[in-house]
Amino acid sequence: MSDFMLPDIGEGIVECEVVEWRVAEGDIIEEDQPIVEVMTDKALVEITAPEAGRITRLYVDKGSIAKVHAPLYAYVGENDSGESDSGENGADENKAGENEQNGEDSRQAQLGDSDREPKRSDVGSSESSTPQPAPRDPANTIEASAEQSATASAGKGPYGRVPASPAVRRLIREHELRLDSIPGSGKQGRVLKEDVLDYLEQGPSDNRQGQTTPDKNRADEEFRVEPLRGIRAVMAKRMVESATTIPHFQFGEEIDVTELLALRERLKPQAEARETRLTLMPLFMKALALAVAEHPIINARLNPVADEIHYYTACNIGMAVDSKAGLLVPNVKHVERLSVLEIAREVARLTAAARDGRVDQADLKGGTISISNIGALGGTYAAPIINAPEAAIVAIGKTQWLPRFDAEGNVVKRAIMTVTWAGDHRLIDGGAIARFCNSWKGYLEAPESMLLYLG
């Protein structure tokens, strides 16, 4: 039998959340078969089987945290030595499982007088009829007992997880309970079947000792508790870092996108003929890359010690995507080199991947400037937080049809979109971001001017 260790996923990731097991203990697996999905701080990663064999144990529960280089699951390989042995090992494991289950069944059968771990006095009374293990050093026994008691009181087994048999775990899943919310009465805090049944019968407000305090009960009544993990945890951490380490400069503007909307309508059929959906985002990006070429300081960053300005040679524009797992910002690489049609295809690909939580690491790295299209959800204004270490981000509000004066003083109907920039004030002052925004605005209000710069 071999343990499969959670591999190094890269970028300094040391742990991840088990989102979904695709197999169960006892399942026969093929080489490269998907085994488990884990959520890192950036994306959902699927881990496949290194070889064919049979799963013997899943070490980490769904929803729990797995550590890099720690055992994730155990399996018997198809080519393991002594594989008839596999049967042998399987028999041993089955026997162990049976013993475990029998132990529980036995406890259930004896419920009433043995609904607990055997006490030393009980053992002593049966010395005459039951073979006893070799006597231990009393001091060591006391230490071991104290240690075991401490572990049990913490409700954690030897691997830092709440011990329970597969049958008990299945029962808990069937009733949509949390394993760590059920006080275990078994060895090392093991949760037994009767613990689950008691919990179901009496509810979480049961006054079982030390496991559920009155304060905890009140908290359960007032809140639904959900661990902050995965992408949301990373977002929380990075937003705090960005907001507290980068002095943000905010700048707002209105952009008349009437002509841009008309252009998009004219181009849509041609894009659809090439099986591409044309939204406004590719046009925003293309205009942004052109404006960046005129104002490279917007597409730069400070080095970590803030004594050098690093200018990016590529314009990799990130787009914030509201995915099921949390906020993701994949970026379109080298927008300055791509046609609008090519950008549209990249936007569609990255949006679909982000919403499924399956963005490649490469698509999340290397962004140089970001766009947050909050208007797609209906917001008019927003104050974005910079996606460090970039120097600027723009939040695009929804487009509204509003009355405006034309050159002759007549009131006309125009499509007005609000934008709000946030810039790193260590790099960008008000004049720099205003001039840059004017360039970008010029391309969006007269979109045909972008034709002059097509490569």
Tell me the catalytic residues. 425, 429
| Closest to 239 measured CA to CA, from 307, 308, 320, 300 | 320
Residue 316 and residue 366: Cα distance in Å, rounded?
Answer: 7
Helix axes 258-273, 340-355, angle to 10 degrees: 80
Q: Which residues pair with 418 in a beta bridge?
A: 254
Tokens of 136: 């231990």
Contact (CB, 8 A) for 194 and 108: yes
For residue 389, whether the previous peptide bond is cis, meaning omega lies within 30 degrees of 0, is yes
Tokens of 374: 């909050």
Rounded to the nearest 10 degrees, how much is the dihedral formed by the CA atoms of 352, 343, 297, 310?
70
Residue 298 and residue 318: Cα distance in Å, rounded?
Answer: 14
Burial class (CB in 10 A: 0-12, 13-18, 19+), 299: buried
Rounded to a whole number, what is the largest CA-CA distance in the chain?
111
Length of the chain: 455
Residue 358, number of CB atoms within 10 A of its CB: 15
Dihedrals phi, psi of 411, to nearest 5 degrees: -80, 125
Tokens of 308: 């050098």
| Closest to 373 measured CA to CA, from 280, 287, 443 | 280
